């Protein structure tokens, strides 16, 4: 089954398979399945054509995939353009939401662990 150009995994339950679409998480997947009157435990390859169409229509009513990514990128670009604090943090690749950076910013800054040196490095003599 395809939704918004994404192939849903056939061997997973629908509530999980729908999360393969960018912009659809577990809560939204469950809400859409309830609205379409489809069992969340059903596998994606066991759907009837009618159920597939109802799901596709409901999911594509939301802002998903490319449109959502474009909107998020536009929001970040706007913050950078107006030189907002959050925009500068995005530009520098640092945590944006007030986290400490002396320790614990490995995800944003990369896993570079440096230990303290003991002053100036000695030059080797030949």
| Ordered DSSP codes for the chain | -EETTEEPPTTSBHHHHGGGSTT--HHHHHHHHHHTT--TTSBGGG--HHHHHHHHHHHTTS--HHHHHHHHHHHHHHHHHTT-HHHHHHHHT--SSS---SSS-HHHH-S---PPP-SSPPPPP-
Choosing among 3.30.499.10, 1.10.8.50, 1.10.3720.10, 1.10.540.10, the CATH entry for 2-59 is 1.10.8.50
Tell me which architecture the domain covering 65-109 has in CATH. Irregular (4.10)
- Could you tell me the residue ranges of all domains in the chain? 2-59, 65-109
Could you read off the pLDDT of 39-94 as tens digits, one per residue? 988 888 888 889 889 999 998 899 988 899 999 999 999 999 999 999 999 999 99
Pair 32, 13: CB distance under 8 Å:
no
N residues, the chain: 126
Write down the pLDDT at residue 119.
65
Residue 113 has pLDDT above 90, yes or no: no
């Amino acid at each position: 089954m395809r939704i918004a150009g994404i192939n849903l995994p056939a061997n997973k339950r629908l509530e999980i398979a729908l999360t393969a679409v960018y912009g659809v998480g577990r809560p939204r997947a469950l809400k859409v399945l309830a609205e379409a009157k489809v069992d969340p435990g059903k596998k994606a390859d066991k759907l009837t054509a009618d159920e597939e169409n109802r799901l596709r229509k409901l999911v594509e009513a939301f802002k998903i995939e490319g449109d959502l990514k474009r909107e998020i990128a536009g929001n970040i670009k706007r913050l950078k353009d107006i030189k907002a604090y959050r925009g500068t943090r995005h530009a520098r690749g640092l945590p944006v939401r007030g986290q400490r950076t002396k320790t614990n910013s490995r995800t944003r800054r990369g896993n570079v662990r440096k230990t303290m040196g003991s002053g100036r490095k000695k030059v080797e003599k030949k």
